[in-house]
Chain A
Amino acid sequence: MKNPIAHSLSLTWLAGLITLGSFGLLMLFLAGYRAPVYLPNLQAFTEAAFYLGTFFLVRQLLAGLGSFHAAEHLLRLSVLGLITLALLLLPAVLMPREAATAAPSRWLLIMKGLQSAFLVFYFTAGAVAGYQIIGRQGSARSRKALLLLYTCLAALPILQAWGLDIPLLNYALFATAGAAGLSLLFRVDWLVSLDSKLRKSTLFYLLALSFLSGILLLKTFFPELHYELPIHTAESHYVVLTGFLTLGFSLISALFLLFHLPVAAILDIREAEKKHLIEVGLEAEKTHDLHTLLATLARQTRSSSSASAAWVTRVNNESPENGYPIVEGISLNDIKRIDYSLHAHPGHFQLDRAKDFLFVRDLEKDPVLGNHVLSIRSLAIYPFSLQDGSEWRLCLGFEVPNGLNEHLAREVSHFVGHTRLSASHVCTLQEVAAKARLEKDISIGREMQKRLLPKAFPLSKKADIAADGISAEEIGGDYYDCHVMKDQSIAVLMADVSGKGTPAALHVAEMKGIFQSLMLSDPEPEEFLSLANRAVNRCFDKGMFITVLYAVIDLDKQELRYVRGGHCPLIHYNAKEHKIHTLQDDGLGLGIINGESFDKTLMSRKVKLHAGDIIVLYTDGIVESRTPDAFEEFGYERLRDCIYLNMELDSKSLNKKILREVQSFSGSSIRDDMSLMTIKIKANGQNKNHN
């Protein structure tokens, strides 16, 4: 009913008014009033109006109730039935038959009226409320059946009032209403979905209703009442039909519920498990916290097994002192005593192979636990392990010597299983969160590392300098820099710190400071490497080393001076000779041997430069890149070829070209950082110089 409240209120009032009015008129008839000649059917009409008014009043009252609790309705109906029965029996008990048949006193008249009113009201309410309860949760089909039922109910008094009291039509209406009612009665969803706490009270109300309806129906057919009611109940089809509908509803529902009870007990366990699963799942999602999860396990198993105490402890096989006790309803001292006994007598508390728990009955008689005075009298132990390998134990303590039955034991086992599942989710979630944090750290590290590298290179009319690189998954240890010296020579540096990841990146940061301060004094290559090696030996851990290539490009003298400190050899394209050289001279990485021995290995090289020459510095990530099957390395040959074939490109484009080539060679597998610096000697630089 989607009427606005005001509308539905006025309908209620209207139905109430009709009911009261027609009832008043019926009372007048009872008191001896006769219908006027021009309205011979007035009494029949009044009766019909009374039925219909009651019917709509009940419908309206039911619709007006916001919440819909079947049990509450059944309770109200039972009370109504009781009052009706009391009203019907009271006069017979109170006064002798003779007195009753004698001249009716005024109060007897009122009593008769009340009896009729309550009888009609009770049956109507029983039929309407009962089928409303069933039809409410039902499908469109059950709503149609409900509508059919109501139509038949309303049609009966109208037909009767009109004098169309045709037996065949009446039977048809009875049969239709009966069939509709019966079809509804087999919709038992509302009984199955009843809360376990309400199940018994509902059964009680339904039985009471069956009994009351039965008695009242009998009274209707065999009026032991020795006086006339205003309504001829036995002859009124409406009363008979509603009576039978009420009886049918209450009796069949009661019987169904009665037979359903044993099944319901099992359903309850399933329901509890489901609830636990959901609660544990929500808990896991909400808190990501193992402790909360285990506390939920203790609380739930305690409440559902009616144990007096429940606790979860972490099992430590080496010591009886078990950490992490989560306690419900028992003192820590008792837990300590029990834990100690369990630890001291592992053989005594051995699990059956077939069971996943141990139950100790009659703790007082137990040879081990009986020595302690405990607040519990039987104990169930459920050991379980979690995904991370930790061992745990759920204990349930009971105040009775035999607290655990088979059903409960299985239920608790399921709870433990659910908790283990959720705990593994929590572990996974924690791992994922930790990994996400780590990844974030790494990306920050990578960002920091990028900032260590120069963003722009000095613009020179004589040389075109550019650098580029690709980071591997991890933070790497590549570093390059460029510095314009006082005499306008350009010092370039390419370095690679051993190892990968955060330690390497931190060392890069450290080295940047050292390299930059050394470069400020415009050192020649030998001097630079000697000083840098001392610094590395001083600052770095043993086993940590750096390979460096430091080169000074003297554009005035048209020469390249460099020292290779264990780094990948420089590649030089000689434009004059049209040849490409890999300048692999002796050289040792920094941080491998100490200052003086190192200095002896140092040997600076000089190479003549020409306009159009190309110098390429790079890290081993490029030449050691491998094909996805790891079968072949990119190598020096390919790098040289790539430079040779693309020498007309400017430095920046050449770098890009080389990196693209390496990537297409190695596919997606980037094992190490790749860095690359290219210097092209410009033709006009030379011209200018000559001018």
Chain B
Amino acid sequence: MEIISKLSEDALKISLVGELDANGAINLDRIISKAIADGYYKIAVDCRQLEYISSAGLGVFISYISELKSHNGKFVFYHLRENVESVFNILGLQKVVAITHDFTQAKNQLHEV
């Protein structure tokens, strides 16, 4: 499940709740693609309530990385649980997306270019 809230003109917050598996990935993809179409290129992802993320879920974020970058945007993930962070690290995602500790840091990261 995802909860979306607007942060600013071009920034958006997506809160992920529960498990993000292959089924959830389809919905997430729809949400992000709509956000980008609406002009939101800076996306903060709140992972406080994210219990598990599957490779398909990761794939959704990965597929938009280059598109956000071309619009000077990015994903910033924050509040990752230990097991989720481990999945990010093993895959090497910390090299291509920003991972921060909390929302304040995430907001600062979003507006750094």
- Which A residues are closer than 8 A to B by beta carbons? 477, 496, 498-501, 541-545, 547, 565-569, 584, 586-589, 591-594, 601, 620, 633
Contact = CB atoms under 8 A, between A and B. Distances in A.
Nearest to A633: B83
Nearest to A541: B63
Given A501-B22, A592-B65, A566 B59 contact: no
Interface string B77-113: 0000001000101111101100000000000000000
B21 to A, nearest CB: 9
Contacts of A588: 91-93, 95-96
B59 A499 contact: yes
B36 interface: no
Contacts of A565: 92
B45 to A, nearest CB: 15
A358 B109 CA distance: 68
A157 B3 CA distance: 103
A592 B58 CA distance: 10
B35 interface: no
A500 B55 CA distance: 9
A498 B59 contact: yes
B22 A500 contact: yes
Contacts of B68: none
Contact of B96 (A499, A541, A567, A593): A593
Contacts of B90: 547, 566-569, 584, 620
B17 interface: no
A342 B83 CA distance: 61
Interface of B: 22, 29, 54-56, 58-60, 62-66, 83, 87, 89-93, 95-96
Main secondary structure of the interface of B (DSSP, over half): helix
Nearest to A568: B90
Interface centre among A541, A566, A591 (most CB of B within 10 A): A566
Given A499-B22, A592-B65, A593-B65, A586 B92 contact: yes
15 contacts: A499-B22, A542-B63, A543-B60, A544-B59, A545-B91, A565-B92, A584-B89, A588-B92, A589-B91, A592-B65, A592-B92, A592-B93, A601-B95, A620-B87, A633-B83
A633 B54 CA distance: 14
B92 A601 contact: yes
B92 A543 contact: no
A499 B62 contact: no
B34 to A, nearest CB: 16
A498 B92 contact: no
B89 to A, nearest CB: 8
Contact of B55 (A499, A542, A587): A499
Contacts of B58: 498, 545
Contacts of B96: 588, 592-593
Nearest to A477: B55
A485 B64 CA distance: 39
Given A543-B62, A543-B63, A498 B55 contact: yes
Contacts of B62: 542-543, 545, 591-592
Contacts of A547: 90-91
